[in-house]
Amino acid sequence: MLLIQIRSLCCAPRSCWRLCAGAFRVGRQGELLGAKVHAALTELLGRAQVYDLRHEREPAARVGDIVAVASAAGVRVVVAGGDGSCAWVLGALADAGMANIPVAILPLGTGNDLSRVAGWGGGFLTSGTSSVMRQRLLRRLHAVARAPERPIDRWDVRLAIQGGGSGAGAAAAAAAAGGLPPAFRCTPECEAATARVFNYLSVGMDAEIAFGYHQGRPKTAKGKSLLGTAWLSYVSSVLQQGWLASSTKGCCGSRARVARRVGLQVRNGDDGAAEWRSIALPLDTTAIVLLNIDSYASGRRLWKQRWSSGAQGGYDELGELPEHDDGRLEVVAIRGGLHLAGIVSHASGATRLAQASAVRLRIGATPGGRSSLWDQSMCIQLDGEPWRQRLDTNGPVELEITHSGRSSLLVGPEADMIAEVQQ
């Protein structure tokens, strides 16, 4: 992932530009593409203005230090990476007290849903000669300099063993197979492991598929993922886990249903005084998704209902139009592999459950004492970063998601919302 700062408008002579770039926390998916973009930026801007943060011990602090240097001059930030990387940078800026600094995206991930919503497209073309690459980057930087701003909701996520208390967050973090995503923060005595979410959070089937995909990505001989095989690998993960065979036992049979294992509560109200309200899940629910943006799995709109019609472009009377800055999450259910296939093929939307200003999920093991991996753990996904949460050591866990303010996105030329910004 790359970070680029722009201190002056691109209409100024190129010699007057003050830019710096840093590469850090590059995932396997975008590493090869990130290296090409990093090389092109280094050639374009010079080594003195390129920062490599992959080897920093505290990259989040380094991001804040770099941006602070130019904060008084109206800096604009470009993040090159996937959804997880973009969300991570937005969170790091918020931690540094710089949530007002606007961020644009150079999409190098697989889904790039945040980039799609913000109008920067589903991917940045990196093929061609170095000269062609430089021209593309220059055009993108010109667009960034002219882009309008729009706020995006920022949500706090708290993960802890149910019941809370000192060390409950550390215990939940210790029960995460392979560790929690880098976005989480936790100390040995913390009551909850905390993170921020900007795109979506999901529990169940889709997180299980993403976890399998991340564990088995194809690589080149040099150990780098091939972007062209990303979706092929994802489909392979779906088929290997058997999600399209609804009668299969195990991961995609009755035990895959999360209705008996996940308790869902929602709250509406900005002051936190409103009471929590329980939501009954459909019995065949296999995944719950909390959406901050109306884009999922490379542009699928889960809140959209296929049978809807009218001037709102497919949204019906069952809920209000989702916005990225309305202080609400859209909560939906996915009901099996065939339902997911319909969503991926744009033939269906998800089952709407609620729109809420706060959400609480209580996740437990399968009732009855079964000891298999599927019964004693649950996969969870946060902004494209999945992990397996074990539930057989300390008991059920609780996730609480609350609104924590807004960050600033730059709106790209492909965004539907650019007209709204200019009104």
* Mean pLDDT of the region 385-389: 90
Q: Is the pLDDT of residue 193 over 90?
A: yes
Q: Is the pLDDT of residue 287 over 80?
A: yes
Tell which wins on pLDDT, 222 or 186: 186
pLDDT interval class at 265 (50, 70, 90): very high
pLDDT interval class at 392 (50, 70, 90): confident
Give the pLDDT score at 153. Answer: 96
- DSSP assignments along 221-249, one per residue: TTS-B-GGGHHHHHHHHHHHHTTT-TT-S
According to DSSP, the residues that pair with 76 across neighbouring strands are 6
Q: Is the pLDDT of residue 253 over 90?
A: no
Give the pLDDT score at 267. Answer: 94
CA distance 101 to 190: 29
- The percent of residues in the chain predicted with pLDDT above 90, rounded, is 24
Residues 6+ apart with CB under 8 A from 68: 96, 98
- Where helices occur in 46-128 by DSSP H, the ranges are 59-70, 83-95, 113-118
CA distance 21 to 372: 47
pLDDT interval class at 343 (50, 70, 90): confident
Q: Is the pLDDT of residue 183 over 70?
A: yes
pLDDT interval class at 51 (50, 70, 90): low
pTM (two decimals): 0.83
* Mean pLDDT of the region 71-88: 77
- DSSP assignments along 109-154, one per residue: SSS-HHHHHHTS-S-----S-HHHHHHHHHHHHHHHHH--EEEEEE
CA distance 8 to 387: 40
pLDDT interval class at 309 (50, 70, 90): very low
Q: Is the pLDDT of residue 79 over 80?
A: yes
Q: Are 44 and 134 in contact (CB under 8 A)?
A: yes
* Mean pLDDT of the region 97-102: 86
Q: Are 30 and 111 in contact (CB under 8 A)?
A: no
* Mean pLDDT of the region 44-53: 64
Domains along the chain with CATH numbers:
2-147 (3.40.50), 154-405 (no CATH)
DSSP-derived letter for residue 356 is E
* Mean pLDDT of the region 415-421: 49
Cα dist from 196 to 41, 55, 84, 162, 302, whole Å: 29, 23, 11, 20, 21
Give the pLDDT score at 12. Answer: 37
Residues 6+ apart with CB under 8 A from 409: 102, 103, 104, 118, 149, 150, 151, 152, 324
For 147-178, what is each residue's pLDDT tens digit?
Answer: 999 999 999 999 999 877 888 888 888 888 87
CA distance 175 to 180: 9
